[in-house]
Amino acid sequence: MNFDQLSLDPRLVSATRTAGYTTPTPIQEQAIPLVMQGHDVLGLAQTGTGKTAAFMLPILNRLLATKPAKPGAIRALVVAPTRELAEQIHQAIRQLGMNTRIRSVPIYGGMSKHAQVQQLRRNPEIVVACPGRLLDHVGDGSVDLTHVEVLVLDEADHMFDMGFLPDVRRILRLVANRQQTLLFSATMPYEIRSLADSTLKDPQTVQVGHRAPAETISHALFPVPERMKSKLLMSMLEQTETRRVLIFTRTKRRARDLADMLERNGHNVTALQGNMAQAARQKAIDGFRGGKYSILVATDIAARGIDVTDISHVINYDMPDTVDAYTHRSGRTGRAYHNGEAFTLVAELDELQVRAVEKVMGERIERRRLDGFDYQGYPTDAPEIRTPSSSSRWGQPRRGARRPSGNSAGGYRAPSAEGMAAATNAQQTQHSAARPAPHNAQPAQSSQSVAVANQRRRGQRYGRSSAS
């Protein structure tokens, strides 16, 4: 099948060719006809499957084929959880609608409200918005949603994770006269299922690559002690043929420090993390997309907001906290059904998370050893941690169950984590003082907390800063 066979307006078909689209992806092939027929749609799809075009092409087709109930009214509203994703969707609309006069306005925080008001006064047909800033404009009277015909809730599970569901429900009441609702989510927790049941009318369900990472991505684990991660990363970048590389860290501080270290070692690199102003964040993304930087070091804010098709490698410097986070990180490569590789640097205490990912993938991830790298006797055959038979998301023990001991992996004691500077200078004095627990710390239930407790019992420093 090609786009000519989807009954799209010729101007849109021409734009797909200009954008380099050849044939529809599975979600586009399934969703576009359903949306064009006017159905509410529940889409379950991972990032990198082409879902933005799957809902935007039929919406653009609708706006071209029908007249508005009120001239100058906003006819389509797309709600997204992050600034990066909102901007990405806005750019996709501009690209797909290049041969039309349809206008789109992005609305999100971190940018001038006055400038956004000026754009809204130009009567755009489409608004792409983050919930908080959109409701600010509604409260100011600068945006009127009463004539919205189509509502899209994109990355609904991420909006739930970020606490946006109350705002989303307020927005739903503001667009009560809409004719069609499209809800897209990578996962389907109870809260999103409940939202879908109360929002969608007789929906058609489209499911592509649900939860498991895309098949175009190959995965590999590189077992390594925490203190040697930076050196191993440097050696990997030197030995691996790459195009663009996206590296994920668990914290903002690590992202900054790792980017600084790579830059000092001659790499064209930039960082992307939550403390940056919106202009700086967009500059980093544009520089990475445009080729100014070949490496982007990011926290998970970037996992759902970067649309670059030629990322050849995703490297998890830190193991992600959940299976879904792993899926969204790795989904930054292998996009548009191109091949990509996802590498993860894993320490001994990451084994529980690894097993959870492998369970979803249905296979054991390959463990690799980097040729020529001095592991200093570290057992790179990935020692196993025995887990209780009854477990939750990460296989953590039941309440009251005995936690794994600090030397559960064949008597091996994991080395302490070091700062980024220490990773690049083996002679630097290492600190061994344990970091005190936050004042509001709760009893450990996740494997991450178990890991911290084990490290503290050994009197070692774990090396985490505040989460992104």
List the CATH number of the domain containing 23.
Answer: 3.40.50.300
d(CA 346, CA 359): 17
- Cβ atoms of 330 and 219 closer than 8 Å: yes
Same-domain status, 119 and 146: yes
d(CA 360, CA 423): 33
Same-domain status, 198 and 226: no
Same-domain status, 287 and 192: no
Helix (H) or strand (E) holding 135: helix 131-140
In the numeric block, which tokens belong to residue 349? Answer: 């205490």
Question: Band of the pLDDT at 423, cuts 50, 70, 90?
Answer: very low
Domain limits for position 83: 3-208
Residue 102 is assigned to a structural domain of this protein:
yes
CA distances (Å), 218 to each of 205, 305, 320, in order? 28, 22, 17
Phi/psi at 106 (nearest 5 deg)? -90, 135
Residue 372 is assigned to a structural domain of this protein:
yes
Residue 441 is assigned to a structural domain of this protein:
yes
> What average pLDDT does this structure show over 55-64?
97
Give the model confidence (pLDDT) of 139-157 as tens digits. 999 999 999 999 999 999 8
Same-domain status, 204 and 227: no
Give the model confidence (pLDDT) of 388-422 as tens digits. 333 333 333 333 333 333 333 333 333 333 444 34
Same-domain status, 17 and 146: yes
DSSP string, 343-411: EEEE-GGGHHHHHHHHHHHTSPPEE---TT---TT--TT-------SS--TT-PPPTTPPPPPTTTTTT
Same-domain status, 82 and 181: yes
In the numeric block, which tokens belong to residue 244? Answer: 């663009």
Q: How big is the CA angle at 138 (ends 132 and 143), to the nearest 5 degrees?
A: 115
Question: Band of the pLDDT at 214, cuts 50, 70, 90?
Answer: low
* % of the chain at pLDDT higher than 90: 50
Identity of the residue numbered 55: F
Q: What integer pLDDT is reported at residue 238 of this predicted model?
A: 92
- Cβ atoms of 306 and 270 closer than 8 Å: no
d(CA 119, CA 185): 29
d(CA 95, CA 72): 21
Q: Which of 137-141, 326-330, 367-371 has the lowest mean pLDDT?
A: 326-330
- Cβ atoms of 337 and 25 closer than 8 Å: yes
Same-domain status, 262 and 330: yes
Same-domain status, 199 and 96: yes
Which residue, 155, 184, 208, sits at the end of a domain?
A: 208
Q: Number of folded domains in the chain?
A: 2
d(CA 45, CA 53): 13
Residue 306 is assigned to a structural domain of this protein:
yes
Pairing of strands 150-153, 180-185: parallel
In eight-state DSSP terms, residue 416 is P
Same-domain status, 180 and 300: no
- Cβ atoms of 273 and 301 closer than 8 Å: yes
Same-domain status, 277 and 368: yes
Same-domain status, 222 and 203: no
Same-domain status, 154 and 132: yes
Best CA proximity match to 423, nearest among 270, 180, 235: 235
